[in-house]
Chain A
Amino acid sequence: EDQVTQSPEALRLQEGESSSLNCSYTVSGLRGLFWYRQDPGKGPEFLFTLYSAGEEKEKERLKATLTKKESFLHITAPKPEDSATYLCAVPKGSASKIIFGSGTRLSIRP
């Protein structure tokens, strides 16, 4: 069964303390992987698309990487404004259908 699993469910860091979030997937014929950020009470906001193993993308303090089985979202020297839930998602079948993970709730303490 196609599945997307994110870990940890929640992560609390001190400001400046770097860490990584994990997204593992079991989807045949991967055609890409998306990362989104979701703030409380809002809709998800697109961050990155990764297309193939070995690819990396960066945006400010965030860097996303992709292997054949999983993706990591690395957060370097985070700030309180990076606090949010981070979701990953992969297309299933046609890209019209996307499977989302349950997310990692990240909290950055000042």
Chain B
Amino acid sequence: NAGVTQTPKFQVLKTGQSMTLQCAQDMNHNSMYWYRQDPGMGLRLIYYSASEGTTDKGEVPNGYNVSRLNKREFSLRLESAAPSQTSVYFCASSEAPGLARYEQYFGPGTRLTVT
């Protein structure tokens, strides 16, 4: 099992450009998440999908959109990138929401720089 995979691993964008970060999991998990990680601020939830066909905003959703393409795939789109979106982005998945025993499994991350 590959677990959670993310593409690309690195990306440099200019202000105003758009891009989509891709995430896929092969663990048959129901729930998927997008986080960003900035120095000193920990991991912050951008959007999540509790199950296929649903998406909800997290703590810092502004400037982002998501698509739960199917049970395996969850993409994050930046429509008009800003320097404040320079960060490391992590995708995660878990068996199901609603109960604390469902730990999350993380991908390797995408390092995004917006100039």
User: Which A residues lie at the B interface, using CB under 8 A?
Assistant: 4, 31-32, 34, 41-46, 49, 51, 87, 89, 91, 94-98, 100-103
Cα–Cα, bound, A44→B93 (Å): 12
List which B74-100 residues lie within 8 A (CB) of chain A: 90, 92, 97-100
Assembled-state Cα–Cα distance A51/B101 (Å) = 8
| Contact surface of B with A, Cβ cutoff 8 Å | 4, 31, 40-45, 48, 50, 56, 58-59, 90, 92, 97-109
Q: Is there an interface contact between A43 and B45, defined as CB atoms closer than 8 Å?
A: no
Whether the pair A100, B4 counts as a contact (CB closer than 8 A) is no
Among all A-B residue pairs, the 10 with the closest Cβ atoms: A32-B100, A43-B106, A96-B97, A31-B100, A100-B43, A102-B42, A46-B103, A100-B42, A44-B106, A91-B100
Number of interchain pairs (Cβ within 8 Å): 62
By the criterion CB–CB under 8 Å, are A94 and B98 in contact?
Answer: yes
- Decide if the interface of chain B is mainly helix, strand, loop or mixed: loop
Chain A facing B: main interface SS: loop
Q: In the assembled complex, how far is the CB of residue A24 from the closest CB belonging to chain B, in whole angstroms? A: 14
User: Do A96 and B43 have beta carbons less than 8 Å apart?
Assistant: no
Residues of chain A with a CB closer than 8 A to B105's CB = 46
Cβ-defined partner of B97 (8 Å) among A4, A44, A45, A95: A95
Contact status B40-A95, CB under 8 Å: no
CB-based nearest B residue for A43: B106
Q: A96 to B104, Cβ gap below 8 A?
A: no
Considering only CB atoms, which chain B residue lies closest to A32 in the complex? B100
- Chain B residue numbers with a CB within 8 Å of A34 are 103-104
Q: State in angstroms the CA–CA spacing of A11 and B59 once bound together.
A: 29
The docked-state distance in angstroms from the alpha carbon of A41 to that of B6 is 13
A103-B98 contact, Cβ under 8 Å, with A43-B108, A46-B105, A97-B58: no
